[in-house]
Amino acid sequence: MSTTGLKVYWRADECQTNGSGIVTQLTDISGQGFHASGTGGPAKISDALNGVPVLRFTGNQFLSHSYLGEIATVIALVRPEGVGAYRALLSARGATRDAYWFGTTSPGGNAIFQRNDASGNDAYIRYLQEPFKWNVWTGRVQASSLDFFFNSYKGGSLALSSRLPITGDAYLGAASNGSLLSDFWMGDLAELAIFDQPLASAEIGKIVSYLKGFYVL
């Protein structure tokens, strides 16, 4: 995994669980200390992906961190389920609503990458994804655009002139609607990395190749 601008690195084999195998803390192995925690986290499923553990979300589990700051690039190795509904893999709060949203959408269960503008208006890219299959999803926020990559393929781009600041909590596996959580993720997650700068397309391609090689996909 590239360390250029690496801010958060969560991997399913680096976590703490309770006696029932439910994750209570997902360790940030970037060294930055952004550990995600909670009492109702996903289950750790051992040897689920070619001998490597994954996190399994079944529709009401999540972990959180109080504040991650701005998010420029997110790369996740995921196997989505729960198609045909809004499901948040990663979200982060702004002052009045979610500023950042990455997951699936309704109708159709397409992948969605959303980074709302400074007025709180929706700005998003939708892309037809493959449910129940392992793929690498990447969302990138550049100075004036959003980009979504499906594996190494750039699946969409959208002009964005401003961004709603991220000021609140970040959630892995859920979206925040004020004091309520909703749109819980369904599916498996092997790992997720957050970068504080927009990675070049070539660098994203290298990370995708690394992930597919490491997990034998």
Tell me the pLDDT tens digit for each residue of 72-84.
999 999 999 866 7
What are the extents of the domains in the chain? Answer: 6-214
Instruction: Mention every residue, 6+ apart, whose C-beta is less than 8 A from residue 175.
Output: 86, 88, 91, 98, 101, 103, 181, 182, 183
At 106, is the pLDDT very low, low, confident or very high (cuts 50, 70, 90)?
confident
* pTM, full prediction: 0.94
* Distance (Å, whole) CA 200 – CA 206: 10
Distance (Å, whole) CA 105 – CA 71? 20
110-147 pLDDT, tens digit each: 888 888 888 878 888 888 888 889 999 999 999 999 99
Please tell me the class of the 6-214 domain.
mainly beta
pLDDT given for residue 43 in this prediction: 97
